[in-house]
Chains A and B, each alone.
Chain A
Amino acid sequence: MEKNNQDNSQRRSFLKFGLLAGGATLAGWGINKKLMADTIPPASGQKVKVMTADGKLMEVDSSHLNHHIAEGVITNMQAREGIEGKKLVMVIDLARCANARKCVEGCQKMHHKKAPVEWIKVKKMQDAPESGPYWMAQPCFHCDNPPCTKVCPVDATFKRKDGVVLIDSDRCIGCRFCMAACPYNARVFNWGEDWGKGEDSTLSPNACTTTCNNSIETSLQDKMGTVSKCDFCVDMVRLNKLPDCVTNCPNGTLFFGDANEDVVTNGEDTFRLSELIRDRAGYRYLEELGTEPRVYYLPPVERNFPFEEDPIKHNTTE
């Protein structure tokens, strides 16, 4: 823990430096990239020359550069703006969901959470008493008419240009109005220190590419007394990667993509979004609430798997 804090402060001081440097020179980029490939080196005392924005050459210890990724630190401003030109969207094919819960596990691993904290949930649904039950994966819907961001008194949760709803956990005051406002209960609260904190960041498969960049987009800074939720893995999107829930699903249930490009993929199959939701009669959960979710469901018809009750009780303890 102590070590982590130290790490953070180093990172933060470097963040400041990064801001100062602004657009780094080509040379700077190159050094960064080279160092990126290595694992954390000991404080070697080796000096590296970098050029600042105003053209001055500066010497810094190479170990300082280690945490920086070349793709750039996402500032709060950028994290609030969103990714230019994209409209992120998800399609969940209920015919494919077999309650493997790998999306839940992948998400927890990615965001260093552990049970019972789930940013994506899998629920047993049954629309009418006589109709067949089915499993439904439920992330945050990143609504286009979000009830949660409307009520936030401090603009800690906000809607971005690319459609994603994020939380600035350094600003959240923990009033939980957004949790009361969300009709889908997508939001979770950090009820205590290390609430639902999972394994250490370094053990995560995507650790290097995501955690080095400690911005709002990585959602790794959530602290006691603040609200968290599914962030559509926008840090992964910046790296042109799919969210972990999508890649972890063994059945290809979840599709992720960009509505502007009109394409969604589960990593294997790629579809035209408009055709997929037209031909498969896609719908949005509780459409009548008018929240306009960015997550579409494909009805659980002609299913790949028969419905089976889950013999295991999940998340029985805090």
Chain B
Amino acid sequence: MPHTAHSGADYHVLTNEEKREHRKEIGEVVLRPLRHTGIAGKIWIGALLIIFIFGCYAYYLQLKNGLKVTAMRDYASWGLYISNFIFFVAISLVGALISSVLRLTNFDWYRPITRIAEIIAVSAILFAGLIIIVDMGRPDRVLNLFIHGRIQSPIVWDVIVVTTYLVTSLLFLYMPLLPGIALCRDKLTDKPKWQRWIYKVLALGWNGSHDQWKIMKRSIAIICILIIPLAISIHTVTAWLFATTLRPGWDSTNFGPYFVAGAFQAGTACVIIAMFVFRKAYNLQKYLTEVHFNQMGKLLVFLCLIYAYFNLNEYLVPAYKMRGAEGKLLNDLFTGHYAPLYWSVQIFGMALPAVLLLWKKARRPVPIAIIALFVVVAAWFKRYLIVTPIMLHPYTPIQNVPANWAVYFPSWVEMAIVAASLAGVLLIITIFSKFFPIISVWETLENEGIELEEMDNPETEPETAKI
């Protein structure tokens, strides 16, 4: 299997016939999940829907009774929702990393996974926005952000960058999808009328002309550049929600890059899991190959090491000083109440993956998917550890409060809503993959040295010119 178009001596020049064969074959493979949904798929979607609807009911209770149905109180005034928000923003960064950074740095192997990364980015950032509204005491006044918005507030910065990133990510998902939608439009003629109509509208009249390819590729190149500062700013601004306060544990100049590094690490792990699941569920072994898992494994090692570096800065430097209130917080993390969680997260979510993935055997699909699962779960708990212990270690002592104010353990309502948000992200990814090809045909074929642009326009750029 040739895995890059530029791999040198063993580059086998395909005949036009072979190219057409390849194209037809991959077209069939990517459309198969759109044609049929198996029993497992139906159960999966049904289960996600149940979790999601239950979470909506929990939110209804919260709207009716107020935030008292959560475990948050005056000291732990931010809790599960906010940590979940950071988690979603974090994993949404991977869209920019995979599709843009790798593209700009001339890697080729990433191409079949760009769409997986982008749909994770879009759904995660969408639910990040929703979960922050869930956290608001007065969601009915959300428009005040626009009527009375203060540009000096990091929350307003967050609103601006999150919405911009959502729109840009949607475009970044949509642009390279155009030939895919056209494929659906042309091949899925047995689908219901409304669905065919959607394909027709969304395809924007795509017919693979030179001009269309040119516009699309240029648009992608522009978004590719735009999305990098945007991605870095969404997570930096999210970090600033904490770093702009005076609280011990958040009052850190390291927070921006620390969050960004953690985000790339967690997002990459998410993509590995998604690759593994789609590969199995949609029989994409031929396109999501072991090469991809191997490369993603190497990338994850690199990102774990960078994250470890920022963790050293974040914890070791203040721990050296053990200053006042921050010292108490660190003691509680290292040896106190939060120690089991803290060390599990650091070891299973960062140290161990970085070491294990150094071995090629660990970078095979099954082991790496398991390792990535650990990374993602640890990443979620890491965000919890970034929020809750700090809230409960203020400068002023917590006294004369009901027992449940001095601790924080999320209520069932919070857990149900957060579970629903996670289910919502998975639901969007799943439903998307049932309506659109989850791997990009033209980008995958480019890896094999097949340019669809040339195939679509044989008369304007003859095949012989290249041979």
Contacts and interface: CB of A to CB of B under 8 A. Distances in A.
Interface of A: 116, 118, 121-125, 138, 147, 150-156, 171-177, 179-181, 183-185, 187-193, 195, 224-227, 286, 289, 291, 313-318
B136 A180 contact: no
A146 to B, nearest CB: 11
Nearest to A183: B246
B464 interface: no
Given A224-B137, A316-B403, A193 B148 contact: no
Contact of A151 (B67, B139, B245, B400): B245
A225 B149 contact: no
A177 B157 CA distance: 13
Contacts of B148: 154-156, 171
A224 B66 contact: yes
Nearest to B394: A185
A205 B427 CA distance: 57
Nearest to A177: B155
A101 B409 CA distance: 30
Contact of B137 (A125, A138, A150, A173): A173
A175 B144 contact: no
Nearest to B135: A175
Given A185-B75, A315-B401, A152 B150 contact: yes
Contact of A150 (B68, B72, B147, B153): B153
B47 interface: no
A226 B77 contact: no
B284 interface: no
Interface in B366-402: 391, 394-402
Contacts, number: 151
A282 B159 CA distance: 42
Contacts of A191: 66-68, 70, 72-73
B142 interface: yes
Query: What are the 9 tightest A-B residue pairs by CB atom distance, in nearest-first order?
Result: A174-B137, A225-B137, A192-B68, A192-B66, A153-B155, A191-B68, A153-B153, A183-B246, A154-B148
A229 B397 CA distance: 18
Contacts of A180: 77-78, 241-242, 245, 247, 391
Contact of A181 (B142, B144, B246, B404): B246
Contacts of A151: 153-155, 244-245
A195 B156 CA distance: 28
A297 to B, nearest CB: 13
A190 B137 contact: yes
B65 interface: yes
Contacts of A150: 152-153, 244
Nearest to A172: B138
B74 A173 contact: no
B405 interface: yes
Nearest to B241: A177
Contact of A154 (B150, B242, B394): B150
A174 B133 CA distance: 10
B198 interface: no
6 contacts: A171-B148, A173-B136, A173-B142, A173-B145, A191-B67, A289-B246
Contact of A152 (B73, B75, B153, B244): B153
A184 B402 contact: no
B137 A189 contact: yes
Contacts of A183: 245-247, 394-396
A176 B77 contact: yes
A314 B400 CA distance: 5
Given A173-B136, A224-B137, A181 B244 contact: yes
B402 A317 contact: yes
A185 B246 CA distance: 11
Contacts of A152: 150, 153
Interface string B50-78: 00000000000000011110101111011
B141 interface: yes
Nearest to A184: B396
Nearest to A151: B153
B136 A174 contact: yes
B68 A185 contact: no
A60 to B, nearest CB: 33
A215 to B, nearest CB: 18
Interface in B215-274: 241-242, 244-247
Contacts of B394: 183-185
B142 A155 contact: no
Contacts of A195: 66, 68
Contacts of A179: 74, 77
